[in-house]
Amino acid sequence: MAHDAKVFGDGVAVITGAGSGIGAGLARRAGALGMVVMVADIDETAAQGTVDQIVAAGGKAEPVRVDVSRPEELDRLAELVFDRHGEVRLLINNAGIETVGYTWEVPTARWEATLNINLHGVIHGVRAFVPRIIATGKEAWIGNLSSVGAFGMMPAQTAYTVTKHAVQSFSECLYLEMELKAPQIHVSSIIPGMMKTNIFNAGAGSDVAGDEPDNARGHRQRMFEMMRDHGMDLDEGCRLFLEQMAENKFWVHSQPEMSRDIIAGRIAFFQEQKAPVLAEMVRHIVAD
- Any idea which residues carry the catalytic annotation? 160
DSSP 3-state assignment of 122? helix
Query: Which helix H or strand E contains 90, and what residues bound it?
Result: strand 90-93
Burial of residue 80 (CB within 10 Å: 0-12, 13-18, 19+) is middle
Question: What's the rounded Cα separation, in Å, for the pair 154 and 226?
Answer: 15
Buried b (16+ CB within 10 A) or exposed e, 156-177: bbbbbbbbbbbbbebbeebbee
CA-based nearest residue to 216, from 200, 228, 227: 200
Q: Assess contact for 232 and 25: CB atoms under 8 A.
A: no
Question: What's the rounded Cα separation, in Å, for the pair 103 and 182?
Answer: 39
CA-based nearest residue to 266, from 176, 126, 131, 161: 161
